[in-house]
Amino acid sequence: MLFLLDRLYYYYYYYFLLLVPAGVWAGGGGTAWGFMCDLLLCNLCIYLFMFLLCVSSKIILLFFFFFWGGGGCINGTRTHWEGEGRGVQMVCVDLTCVAIRLSPVWVCLIAYCPNGKRPTPLQALVRVMDYGFSVEAFKRKPIVLLTHMFVHANESHLAGNLTSLMATLLEFGGPSVQRNVEEHNVWVSVRRMVGSFAVFIGGGIMGGIGGQLMFNDAQLARRHKRWMSLLSVKGEPNGTPFDAVIRRAKSWLERMKYKIDKKRTDSIFMCGASAGICSLAGFNVSYYKRWGTALTMVVPEVIALVCSLLSTQTRLANTAWLPAGEVVGHAAHVGGFTAGVCIGLAWRWFSRVYRNGTQRKQRTKRV
């Protein structure tokens, strides 16, 4: 059963995530074939857009939606689709504003290719060891608490994170995702970029690191529960001296195992923007009420985390965050999402209090 759930996680994540790069949900009643077309064409459009980023200052980006199958008429002078809910939507994109909004993506790219050259796998891993987070590395260089979010172990790790990061950034801010894509105000784009950076870094550090370390400690305690019970057992009154020696030797062995596992866990490096991305998805859920990226990214992480907790064997190597593709920190992702939800709720409450205070001041002035 756990194996089937584990396979479900990977298939759900890598295939259903085709929807995420566009950052737009196809609404209502579509057929399965039409839905798959939506996913594929949205994915192709966003990569076409990224390719044209260095070519032109402004382009017209076409998002093709086959909501109920079949086509519709196109009107290039309007920004909504026509023809009984079918057709092609025209979206005008200001590349300067979009480039500003996607600043976290450029930072991750620069961190992976600092010299403008494609690093070898060994160079990427060396950079992770220099700037990645571990308990031991944090004691030497506290700055790794920040830098670990922008380094990646390999190209597949980087590509997967950047795809998800673009989706969450396009979903972040504004009255709708379409308005975000069509934003032409540079100042608004800068403000949203600063806000997304704050949620990305804050949630990634608090939820990602905190969630993963708590999960590792829980797994350690679970694995060595037998050792704890041995320490609490006192010698039987009728036991022989030989039995007492055996119990003491077993207790010493379990204590050594615990210390070795603790040292190994503290030395495991964590890297990647995944926790920050999940934090942005959580913020989008709690503040903007947008579930698109959260459903495609966080749901499979919860499934994988539950599988890990239900597993009869506690394998600490599978709770780490490095290297990508071999071990994944599902607890860090769920923790980042939880932190993002909390940040969104806190900001919603603060905005409501500030708005009510401003309205009271305006009423007082009028009186």
pLDDT tens digits, residue range 280-297?
999 999 999 998 888 888
Give residue 178's pLDDT.
Answer: 77
Domain assignment present for 85: no
Average pLDDT over residues 336-360: 92
Between 190 and 65, the higher pLDDT residue: 190
Structural domain contains residue 74:
no
Average pLDDT value over all residues in the chain: 72
Please tell me the predicted confidence (pLDDT) of residue 89.
Answer: 53
In a domain, 23, yes or no: no
85: left (phi over 0), alpha (psi -120 to 50) or beta: left
Residue 197 included in any domain = yes
Q: Are 103 and 131 in contact (CB under 8 A)?
A: no
Residue 115, domain member (yes or no): yes
For position 60, what pLDDT does the model report? Answer: 33
pLDDT of residue 207: 93
Please report, rounded to a whole number, the percentage of residues in the chain having pLDDT higher than 70: 65
49-60 average pLDDT score: 38
Number of residues that make up the chain: 367
Tell me the pLDDT band of 356, cut-offs 50, 70 and 90.
confident
User: CA nearest 314: which of 257, 250, 249, 232?
Assistant: 257
Q: Give the structural domain span for 333.
A: 98-366
pLDDT band at 268 (very low <50, low <70, confident <90, very high): confident
Rounded to whole angstroms, how far apart are CA atoms 333 and 330? 5
Q: State the pLDDT at residue 287.
A: 94
Whether residue 249 is contained in a domain is answered as yes
Q: Is the pLDDT of residue 97 over 70?
A: yes
pLDDT in tens, 285-333: 999 999 888 888 888 888 888 887 776 554 443 433 333 334 678 899 9
Return the DSSP state at 316.
G
The tokens of 104 are what?
Answer: 């976290």
Of 7-11, 247-251, 358-362, least confident by mean pLDDT is: 7-11
Q: How many whole angstroms separate alpha carbon 250 and alpha carbon 168?
A: 51
Does position 128 have pLDDT exceeding 90, yes or no?
yes
Please report whether residue 33 resides in a domain. Answer: no
* Stated pTM of the model: 0.71
Does an H or E element contain 54, and which? none
Q: Tens digit of pLDDT for each residue in 158-207?
A: 988 998 999 899 889 888 887 888 888 999 999 999 999 999 999 999 99
Pairwise pLDDT comparison (15 vs 279), residue with the higher score = 279
Q: Is the pLDDT higher at 261 or at 281?
A: 281
Domain count, the chain: 1
**Separation CA 167–CA 111 (nearest Å):** 20
- Give me the half-sphere count of Cα atoms (radius 13 Å) on the Cβ side of residue 222: 15
Domain for residue 19, yes or no?
no
Peptide bond between residue 323 and the one before it cis (omega within 30 degrees of 0): yes
